[in-house]
Structure 1
Amino acid sequence: MILDPARPDFWPIPQTPYEDDALVFCRAWLKGQQTFTLYTSGSTGTPKPIQLTRAQMRSSAHLTGQTLGLQAGDTSLVCLNIRYVAGIMMLVRGLELGLPMTIIEPSGNPLLNLDPATDHFAFTAFVPLQLQTILESNNPAYQVDKLPILNGMKAILVGGAATSPALERALQVITAPVYATYGMTETVSHIALRRLNGPNTSELFTALTGAELGTDERGCLHITSAATNFERVQTNDVVDLVDSSTKGNRQFRLLGRADRVINSGGVKVQPEQVEQVIQNVITTVDQFSTISGIRLFVTGLPDERLGQRVVVFTEQLPINSQQWMAVQEAVWEKLGPYAVPKELITVTQFSETPTGKIDQKATVAQIR
């Protein structure tokens, strides 16, 4: 379905319930509705309703347009779930910035039925799994090439989950700017971006103009901006806030979530850092060098001696003793002895949240 914000009288008749939902929201926006109720993704608990104002959503949309250089008439591909903030904000950006929108119901490969010769877009946003699937489809073995669609864009956003080291290496074939996003429903989508490809690749997120950042006593980020209605939003994300004389405190390195910290022998271990080391080790082994990424997570299980021991959960991934030893040595070298995983647990399939993220608590419960 294609919607041109400049020509609402010519919008098509919806063909599916999903298209109907998109049209209902867009028409409500054009009629001036002032408040909207959205739901969090539920990745760290039960999804909860959050009410956002039109002013917050407009501010976020225009700031994104300004940051990425989007202009009226630029076309956008909307392929994120519009029942959550990331997808809804793609609609708001289209309506507010005058971007004609091609709206596709979310799928693993949103480009599958598009033609590089005729389908051109300036802007889109993916979850990591979508981008992984697209790049895999560009493998010569599949005889499919959608890269021209990506390379013709002004900006590509990737959010909703962390990008794996394997994916970040693979997406270097894309010449258009690709950005990881940082944000949540409470901040009305992203408030910071991190360049993933090209000469400006960075490990640091840079906050959008006007976002004020700080940390609490746990080292967790808090955010104040027009998108938060100038109220402080306190997160559980542990960050390394960079003090730059040129950028102020507008850059940060995301370390992980405070509620995931493992206390092993009195030493706090951030599991996200362990996961990244493991991903780097595994994807350098030939038979695992696939851009689809390895589904795993690190957590703590009760231990009589340590309090909690570091363990790795994988999904149908056989690792032999030599590879497991390489993982343990790499973690020891980079993060120290207390971060070294003590056990590898393989399950048939990870439990997932409604938005497709790994439900770690439910997955751990499978073995108890």
Structure 2
Amino acid sequence: MQFNEHSDFQLLRNGIALKRGDSAVGDQALDFLDEWRKDDPTISLQTSGSTGVPKVVQVEKAVMWHSATATIAALGLAESIHALLALSPQYIAGKMMIVRALLGGWKLHVHDLSTAILDDLRSDFDFAALVPLQVKGRATQLNKIGTTILGGAPVDAGLLDEMNEVKTRVFETYGMTETVSHIALKELRPHTQDAFHAVPGVTFSVNADSELRIHAPQWNHTELQTTDVVSLLNENTFVWKGRSDFVINSGGVKIHPEKVEPILSKLVGKSVYVTSRQDDALGRRLVAIVEGEVPELSRELLQSSGLSVYETPKAWLSVSSFPMTESGKIVRHKL
């Protein structure tokens, strides 16, 4: 048995041992287990394509095992707990749930993929990994899960407000396929933190442009340079601001879409994303995009929201639907 796989590990569907043909997600999980148990030291991972063309990368199984160890330690997860597999085993988030279950000897319950999965739960669980899209409109259902981690897309202000009645533990994650899932956690409930905290074995620094560098030797990254702009509090803690490759330079002012979008979304009452268009005076002008009807917002309301004159949209556009990944993350190069 590779990597000291826990003998109590079980893969279940509707409370009984999973068999091939029970469900598409179950077959994907079994396919991953077959690949995991082969002698090949690496696993193929598919990126989401949110920032470019989806691609396949190779990672070492030993790194995935270490990542699982760090997550279990950071969250204090016990052995032989009941966990929920609610994400596709074709991507890193779903694969890592299986690896954590193998390490911890968990009973891993396979569920059909759905944005309404929280409505369908028939029992409580000790641990689950979800994407924000699965929680929006259903946040109080997180009380059925002892500890939940949310990843794949940022947690916006609206979803955070929804969690006011959540009494169980909820964390937002920071990571990428190259780091084999998350390498930092931010507590959202029962306490709300502004900063991400490194899991064991990871430290941070920044370059001259305040872009995050990840130092994670056991993940095979002595120095991984990202395009995430952060405020570094110490070598283990940072506040995330946005992506430098998404920055819009308007009139010489750098605008982070990730800062503007939550404010506009709260004003409008639905999701708003921003991009830019060529402008003779400003170089680039900010453009806001919504699904459906374009809202009418007064200048006074926009100014009172805390947005600067440069961060105020110069035009609004409507689309029938946003280009999104399966995890609910905007695909900006298509936007």
* In the alignment, structure 1 residue 39 sits paired with structure 2 residue 46: yes
The one-letter amino acid of 1:299's match is T
Aligned mate of 1:308, from 245, 262, 284: 284
| Contact 1:42–1:354 under 8 Å retained in 2 | no
* In the alignment, structure 1 residue 189 sits paired with structure 2 residue 191: no
Cross-structure match for 2:210:
219
Partner SS for 1:50: strand
The one-letter amino acid of 1:361's match is H
Deviation at 1:48, TM superposition (A): 1.5
The 1:356/1:202 distance shift into structure 2, 3 A limit, reads: closer
Deviation at 1:354, TM superposition (A): 5.3
Cross-structure match for 1:129:
133
* In the alignment, structure 1 residue 346 sits paired with structure 2 residue 318: yes
Partner SS for 2:125: coil
The whole-number CA distance in structure 1 between the counterparts of 2:146 and 2:121 is 18
| Contact 2:9–2:102 under 8 Å retained in 1 | no
> Which range moves more in the overlay, 123-132 or 201-210?
201-210
The whole-number CA distance in structure 1 between the counterparts of 2:301 and 2:98 is 43
Deviation at 1:280, TM superposition (A): 3.3
* TM-score, normalisation: structure 2: 0.90
Deviation at 1:356, TM superposition (A): 4.2
Deviation at 1:91, TM superposition (A): 0.8
RMSD: 2.2
| Contact 2:9–2:107 under 8 Å retained in 1 | no
* In the alignment, structure 1 residue 164 sits paired with structure 2 residue 168: no
The 1:259/1:11 distance shift into structure 2, 3 A limit, reads: same
| Contact 1:109–1:133 under 8 Å retained in 2 | no
Deviation at 1:337, TM superposition (A): 2.3
Cross-structure match for 2:143:
151
Deviation digits for residues 237-267 of structure 1 (CA, Å, limit 9, x no counterpart):
1111113xxxxx2111111111111111111
Equivalent residue runs for 1:225-304 within 5 Å: 225-243=216-234, 249-282=235-268, 288=269, 294-304=270-280
Would you tell me which structure has more strand in proportion to its own residues?
2
Cross-structure match for 2:196:
205
The one-letter amino acid of 1:49's match is V
| Contact 1:5–1:99 under 8 Å retained in 2 | no
Deviation at 1:152, TM superposition (A): 4.8
The whole-number CA distance in structure 2 between the counterparts of 1:327 and 1:222 is 38
Partner SS for 2:310: helix
The whole-number CA distance in structure 2 between the counterparts of 1:256 and 1:127 is 19
Cross-structure match for 1:12:
18
> Which range moves more in the overlay, 257-266 or 106-115?
106-115
Cross-structure match for 2:98:
91
| Contact 2:133–2:328 under 8 Å retained in 1 | no
**Which 5+ residue runs of structure 2 have no aligned equivalent?**
1-5
Cross-structure match for 1:360:
332
Cross-structure match for 2:3:
none
Aligned mate of 2:73, from 43, 66, 70: 66
Cross-structure match for 2:303:
329
The 1:24/1:267 distance shift into structure 2, 3 A limit, reads: same
Cross-structure match for 2:116:
109
> Which range moves more in the overlay, 212-221 or 224-233?
224-233
| Contact 1:178–1:196 under 8 Å retained in 2 | yes
Deviation at 1:338, TM superposition (A): 1.9
The whole-number CA distance in structure 2 between the counterparts of 1:133 and 1:109 is 9
Deviation digits for residues 45-100 of structure 1 (CA, Å, limit 9, x no counterpart):
00121111111101110111111111111110010121111111011101111111
The whole-number CA distance in structure 2 between the counterparts of 1:360 and 1:345 is 15
Aligned length: 325
Would you tell me which structure has more helix in proportion to its own residues?
1
The whole-number CA distance in structure 2 between the counterparts of 1:310 and 1:214 is 31
The whole-number CA distance in structure 2 between the counterparts of 1:191 and 1:7 is 24
| Contact 2:261–2:273 under 8 Å retained in 1 | yes
| Contact 1:328–1:341 under 8 Å retained in 2 | no
| Contact 2:246–2:257 under 8 Å retained in 1 | yes
Deviation at 1:44, TM superposition (A): 0.2
The whole-number CA distance in structure 2 between the counterparts of 1:167 and 1:230 is 33
**Which 5+ residue runs of structure 1 have no aligned equivalent?**
139-146, 244-248, 283-287, 289-293, 364-368
The 1:7/1:308 distance shift into structure 2, 3 A limit, reads: closer
| Contact 2:229–2:244 under 8 Å retained in 1 | yes
The 1:353/1:130 distance shift into structure 2, 3 A limit, reads: closer
The 1:11/1:35 distance shift into structure 2, 3 A limit, reads: farther
Deviation at 1:153, TM superposition (A): 3.3
